[in-house]
Structure 1
Amino acid sequence: MEIQRHGIILNVEHFDECVAFYKDLFALPILFSKIEGDFKLTCLALGETYLMIETEGVANTSGKSITENATKLRFNVADIDLALKTVCDYGIAAHIVKNAWGSVINIVDPDGNRVGIRDEIGFK
Structure 2
Amino acid sequence: MSALRTLLIAALASQAGCFYMVTEGKGGVAERFPIAAYQQQLSERLQHCEATLDRHTHAGNAKRYPALYQQTQSQLIESRRLYQAEFYQQAEVTLESVETVLKLMHQEQQRSALSQLCQQQTHREICL
- TM interval, shorter chain, is under 0.3
Relative to total residues, which structure has the larger helix share, 1 or 2?
2
Q: TM-score, normalised by structure 1?
A: 0.24
Pick the structure with more strand per residue: 1
Greater RCO (CA < 8 Å, at least 6 residues apart) = 1
User: Highest Rg: 1 or 2?
Assistant: 2
Q: TM-score, normalised by structure 2?
A: 0.23
